Structure 1
Amino acid sequence: MSNNTSTTLIAILTGAAIGAGLGILFAPDKGSKTRGKIKEGYKDASKDLKFKFDDLSGEMKQKLKSAKLDLEETYVDLLSDMSHKTEDVISFLEIKLAELKEQNARLQK
């Protein structure tokens, strides 16, 4: 998880815990009603966290897919560059070989 997401998640959980604690301390209702409200608050927070997790999971999958495509593209570009470089080296060597053959022919006369 990224640092920003971790911080947000910690803040949400801390806020929920503080809110639940304050709700219990200052609740004008009976204990059973207060527990019911806390249970509903927990369910809401739980659904919210699940939604955020699913959203974050989807984003991560998309980023990984994009990174994979970028890596594949970079690999293809690298192979293409190496192919061109290989052709350049072969051309250079063919020129040098022709020059050496010419020099050898002159030396053998």
Structure 2
Amino acid sequence: MSKSSNLVLGLLAGGAIGATLGILFAPDKGINTRQKLVDEALSAKADLSEKAHEVKDKVASQAKQKKDSLDSQLESILNNASYKADDIITSLEQKLAILKARNKQFQKETSNKTNS
């Protein structure tokens, strides 16, 4: 979790604990105090649930962004590799043509020396 998420959770937990202690030490009837505790607990639960959903959505969004970025970078690398492979093949074909021409010339010269 990020530091801001931890801070929010800490503040919520501290607020819930403070509210609970305040209610416990406040002069009121037992049934009213228990109801206040229940209300505070439900409110804290709802807040924590909301924050958990926000954190989950944020993490999912960041994961998707990273995946999309990685996919894009991988596609770029593959395209570059494909162009490089084409360049290498073209260069090798040119060198092969030169070697074939030299070999043909060599065979011609060797044939002329043998026939002379």
Partner of residue 20, structure 1: 20
Whole-Å separation in 2 of the counterparts to 1:87 and 1:52: 52
| Runs of 4+ more than 4 Å apart | none
Q: How many residues align?
A: 108
Who wins on radius of gyration, i.e. which is larger?
2
RMSD: 1.9
Aligned mates of 2:104, 2:46 — CA distance in 1: 86
Say which SS state the counterpart of residue 27 (structure 2) adopts.
coil
TM-score, scaled relative to structure 2 = 0.77
Q: Deviations over 1:34-57 (max 9, x none)?
A: 221121111111111111112222
State the Cα distance separating 1:100 from its structure 2 match.
1.9
Q: Which residue of 2 aligns with 1:6?
A: 6
Residue of structure 2 in register with 1:40 after alignment: 39
Offset of 1:89 from its aligned partner? 0.7
Q: Which has the higher contact order (CA 8 A, sep 6+)?
A: 2
Structure 1 residue runs of 5 or longer lacking an equivalent are: none
Give a deviation string over 1:49-92, Cα, whole Å, max 9, x none. Answer: 11111222222222222222222222222221111011011011
Whether the aligned pair in 1 keeps the contact of 2:16 and 2:44 (CA below 8 Å) is yes
Unaligned segments of structure 2, at least 5 residues: 110-116
SS class of match (1:53): helix
